[in-house]
């Protein structure tokens, strides 16, 4: 479970919105190949070159995290 208090890093999306995320989440990982989003709901899918569990990655629990 990811707590709101753990989301301390901003990610600025191409749609102009800013999202608060875990500082070690997929948003900031070098292995993240692409972030898919729509202009209504924001980010909804991530592509990981290591095929890791995205749910764990978004919580900052991926062991293969590398700062981008």
pLDDT tens per residue across span 6-62: 999 999 988 789 999 999 999 999 999 999 988 888 899 999 999 999 999 999 999
Instruction: Check residue 47 and give its pLDDT.
Output: 95
The rounded distance, in Å, linking the Cα atoms of 37 and 63 is 25
The confidence score (pLDDT) of residue 36 equals 93
Instruction: Please report whether residue 44 resides in a domain.
Output: yes
Domains identified in the chain, total number: 1
The pTM is what? 0.87
Within a domain: 27:
yes
By DSSP bridging, strand 9-12 and strand 42-48 are unpaired
Question: Is there a domain that residue 67 lies in?
Answer: no
User: Does the residue 21 lie in any domain?
Assistant: yes
CB 36 within 8 A of CB 21: no
Residue 2 has pLDDT above 90, yes or no: no
Residue 63 resides in a domain: no
Dist. CA 12–CA 17, nearest whole Å: 6
Residue 31 resides in a domain: yes
Residue tagged 């989301």 (tokens): 7
With respect to residue 64, please indicate whether it lies within any of the assigned structural domains: no
Classify residue 65: in a domain, yes or no: no
Position 13 scores a pLDDT of 87
For residue 62, give the DSSP letter: -
Q: Which residue range(s) make up the domain with 21?
A: 4-58
């Amino acid at each position: 479970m990811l707590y709101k208090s753990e989301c301390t890093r901003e990610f600025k999306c191409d749609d102009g919105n800013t999202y608060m995320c875990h500082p070690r989440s997929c948003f900031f990982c070098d292995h993240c190949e692409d972030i898919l989003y729509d202009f209504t709901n924001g980010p909804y899918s991530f592509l990981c070159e290591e095929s890791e569990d995205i749910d764990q990655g978004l919580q900052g629990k991926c062991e293969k995290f590398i700062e981008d």
